[in-house]
Amino acid sequence: PGGAPAALVGLVGAARARLLVLLTSPATTTDLAHRLGVTPGAVSRHLGALTAAGLLDRTRHGRRVLYRRSSLGDALTCRGG
């Protein structure tokens, strides 16, 4: 789903794997919700879980919070052997 590696989907689920794959550059909850066609609340719950697991980093810029993959998140989305 969404180009996510099957092993990643099995580990974190399809929705969270898709978010990890989409985060090739920093994005806000609203940006991601628009790209996925879902509510910001749904995205927020997944981002919270991924952040708590150490797969994402978050940075506040004024009123905006930007999410990006952590080094662990990058490693999990890598398709290489």
Q: What percent of the chain has pLDDT over 90?
A: 73
Dihedral angle computed from the Cα positions of residues 59, 67, 57 and 8, in that order, rounded to the nearest 10 degrees: 180
Looking up tokens 């919700």 gives 33
- Which residues have CB under 8 Å from 16's CB, separation 6+? 46, 49, 50
**What confidence tens digit (pLDDT) does each residue in 6-28 have?**
888 888 999 999 999 999 999 99
Q: Would you tell me which CATH number, out of the four given (1.10.10.10, 3.40.50.720, 2.60.40.730, 2.40.30.130), belongs to the domain 6-77?
A: 1.10.10.10
Q: What is the pTM of this model?
A: 0.86
